[in-house]
Amino acid sequence: QLQLQESGPGLVKPSEETLSLTCTVSGGSISSTTHYWGWIRQPPGKGLEWIGSIYYTGNTYYNPSLKSRVTISVDTSKNHFSLKMSSVTAADTAVYYCATNGPTLYDAFDIWGQGTMVTVSS
């Protein structure tokens, strides 16, 4: 049974710092040909927003509204994938979830991590 776990700092300073999170996959291989790996966020009291997705080959797909600030990468040797978001502001304060979907990019996220709260504040 696949399980995903987010990790990273819970507090990031605005503007100058980069938000960095990692999602560790257990119970399966991140190199699976039938899975894509994604990041979704949810500001407090608000709805869900897709940030982007990656395939084990390194192919990436980003939300156009965040693309200029976001990089998603995969490390198959560590069975994890990562999110980096630059030039963060208070508007980036949210619970960040990692999730998996497949076998196509367009399929539903069917397994989610528990989420990690990231606060952007000085």
What is the contact surface with other proteins in residues (CB under 8 A)? 38, 40, 47-50, 53, 61-64, 97, 105-110, 112-115
Residue 77 beta carbon to other proteins: minimum distance, rounded to whole angstroms: 27
Which of 3, 14 has the CB closer to other proteins?
Answer: 3
The CA distance from 79 to 106, in Å, is 22
User: Distances from the Cα of 25 to the Cαs of 32, 33, 35, 60, in angstroms?
Assistant: 11, 15, 12, 18
Residue 116 beta carbon to other proteins: minimum distance, rounded to whole angstroms: 11
Residue 4 beta carbon to other proteins: minimum distance, rounded to whole angstroms: 9
Which of 88, 109 has the CB closer to other proteins?
Answer: 109
By C-alpha distance, which of 107, 88, 110 is closest to 99?
110
| Tokens, residue 117 | 């709260």
Which of 45, 77 has the CB closer to other proteins?
Answer: 45
99: burial class by Cβ within 10 Å (0-12, 13-18, 19+)? buried
Residue 75 beta carbon to other proteins: minimum distance, rounded to whole angstroms: 23
Which of 6, 92 has the CB closer to other proteins?
Answer: 6
